[in-house]
Amino acid sequence: MNPLLPFLMAGDPSLEALPGLLSAAKALGLEAVELGLPHSDPIADGPVLQAAAHRAIQRGATPLRVLQSLAGITDSPDVVLFTYLNPLLQLGAAELKRLLAPTPVRALLVVDLPFGEEPAFEAELRAAGYPMVPLLAPTTTLDRARQLLAERPDPGEEAPFAQRFAYVVARLGVTGTGQGLDLKPVAARVADLLSLTSRPLAVGFGLSDPRSLTAVRRLGATPVIGSALVQELAKGLGLREALAARLVDDL
């Protein structure tokens, strides 16, 4: 099982730091990282990732520059591009595919694109090897979860984690550390979802300490660490140091 899915904000602390962070993630044995494309209106993000996106945009981390800076990088785990829809729509599917081709991006997690709202766009990207990650929220009924997992299907066991996993949103609200995530409903949720699917699950939103990361792993899922990591990286720490600082003691 992939032990951790770290989230990095492209352009924060800088685009120049990105290859080093990706290389460090690979050296840690991680199968994938989520890479946030900074957006002007990140409606699903809490204060930490909002601020990181804002800093990145101020430093010129446009979608184009982010994707160009990923071109040719091979010393990296698979990248899951975490983004809002509008910048992708403005690029258009053809240009997006062209930009993604030389990068380690293997899947897209588009926060504000429910399945079915841009069917042609989504189908074209999936056919080119960029499937959309299914998101399962606490408000998602099991019936709807079953439907979502079928609409954004598991490509099969030979496919990498980045293209197979479903993202389980651990709590209501936006990304961020929050105070003491209640893990009991998360455990019940993961158990329910594991009864529906054999694909890997990642659990994110509100995980910010070693205890909750370990607890998620015990459930058989990969913990996502986002805001807490971005906060440490913004101080200029390397990935290993940032993770060790407060997050992970058992990688």
| Residue of the chain from 11, 63, 131, 200 that contacts other proteins (CB under 8 A) | 63
Residue 80 and residue 83: Cα distance in Å, rounded? Answer: 9
Closer to other proteins by CB, 82 or 243: give it: 82
Residue from 1, 172, 188, 251 touching other proteins (CB under 8 A): that is 172
Q: Which stretch binds other proteins (CB under 8 A): 10-18, 56-64, 100-108, 221-229?
A: 56-64
Q: Which residue out of 34, 78, 122, 232 is catalytically annotated?
A: 34
Q: What is the DSSP string of 138-177?
A: TT--HHHHHHHHHHS----TTS-HHHH-EEEE-SSS-SS-
**What one-character DSSP code corresponds to residue 133?**
P
Residue 95 among the catalytic residues: no
Q: Using CA atoms, how far apart are residues 28 and 129, in angstroms rounded to an integer?
A: 25
- Helix (H), strand (E) at residue 83: strand 78-83
Of 16, 95, 117, 192, the residue at the interface with other proteins (CB under 8 A) is 117
Query: Catalytic: 34?
Result: yes
CA distance 3 to 14: 26
Binding mask 19-38 for other proteins (x = CB under 8 A): --------------------
Contact 22, 73 (CB under 8 A): yes
Residue 133 touches other proteins, criterion: CB under 8 A: no
Residues 85, 112 contacting (CB under 8 angstroms): yes
Using the rule CB under 8 A, is 180 a contact of other proteins? no
Size of the site for other proteins (CB under 8 A): 44
Active site residue ranges: 34, 45
Residues that bind other proteins (CB under 8 A): 39-46, 50, 54, 57, 62-64, 84-91, 111-117, 135-141, 144, 147-148, 151, 169, 172-174
